[in-house]
A and B are shown apart, each in its own frame.
Chain A
């Protein structure tokens, strides 16, 4: 009931200003770090090359992005591993 009332009075958690803030937060991380999409693509390719020496990864599913929290910027890479290479 309270949930309904909240929505009725426009107080749901996914209010449009929260969406705006979240989008801005991310876009400003990129703007401030001066990172172009080209740079991220180049970084991605280098990562693939290096990691491929050690394991087989899903190149298509690989995600690289910048994120910020508490005034710090972090590079987040999500790299699904398909198969480990056998140790020689």
Chain B
């Protein structure tokens, strides 16, 4: 029986869909059978991020309303053996599916896949309740900004209230340079505020935009720091103990000077 993981955040635009796509690709590359579920009904996006937008025939609402069978709606990614997508409906809204149906769907998917990863919509309304209904565990994505952290805190409370205990945190778009000059909250700051286990830190990286432009995922890019971060997170999800990577860029003249006068 596979595991159902929901990727959530509260705030929009912090990288839920990018994270879902990268974890899915990363797990598939590690020879796992993975199904990604886009639960953002009405604002379908996981398909374009994965580069699968031209292959959609049926969607999640077609499955829950019995228009097609589950197997017919699943899109197989031809580039990665084992990676599948269940797309969201684009012309319906979030009330087209209810939590009970999502639970059933997850139960069915977990029979066939090692990992079912659900991309949760932003917000705390029905879309959120649908997305978490069938999940065993939750990942909370946030960025080191006051708005995102505040919403993450709210989401953590709601997840715990829904019996999704011990959600794990991914800090996205981390900028070590800004942290060093005291203009961005550090990993320790975020741990102190949110007080949940850290699953990983993904540095801000232009390659994320570049790969997404092409419908690819950065986790397959061996040279990029963010790709390495996603590969590490993937391994942690599979139960491996991987230490946090060094996010520091090679030090320049300024940081050398800073060290010299004892300002670290």
The answer on a CB contact under 8 Å between A11 and B153 is: no
In the complex the two chains form, what is the Cα distance from A24 to B149 in whole Å?
8
The answer on a CB contact under 8 Å between A9 and B179 is: no
Chain B nearest CB from A18 CB (Å) reads 7
**Chain B residues with CB below 8 A from A32, complex form:** 153, 157
In the complex the two chains form, what is the Cα distance from A16 to B180 in whole Å?
12
In the complex, A23 has a CB within 8 A of chain B: yes
**Chain A residues with CB below 8 A from B145, complex form:** 20
- Contact string against A for B residues 22-65, beta-carbon threshold 8 Å, 1 for contact and 0 otherwise: 00000000000000000000000000000000000000000000
The answer on a CB contact under 8 Å between B263 and A9 is: yes
Q: A9-B258, A32-B157 are in contact. Are A24 and B193 (CB under 8 A)?
A: yes
The answer on a CB contact under 8 Å between B181 and A21 is: no
A-side interface mostly: helix
Q: Looking across the interface, which residue of chain B has its beta carbon closest to that of A16? A: B183
The number of residues on chain B lying at the interface, defined by a beta carbon within 8 Å of a beta carbon of chain A, is 21
The answer on a CB contact under 8 Å between A21 and B150 is: no
Chain A nearest CB from B252 CB (Å) reads 12
**Chain A residues with CB below 8 A from B157, complex form:** 32
**Chain B residues with CB below 8 A from A31, complex form:** 150, 153-154
Chain A interfacial positions (CB closer than 8 Å to B): 2, 5-6, 9-12, 15-18, 20-21, 23-25, 27-28, 31-32
Chain B interfacial positions (CB closer than 8 Å to A): 145-146, 149-150, 153-154, 157, 179, 181-186, 189, 193, 254, 257-258, 261, 263
Given contacts A20-B145, A27-B146, 10 further A-B contacts (CB under 8 A): A9-B254, A9-B261, A11-B182, A11-B263, A15-B183, A20-B146, A21-B193, A23-B146, A31-B150, A31-B153
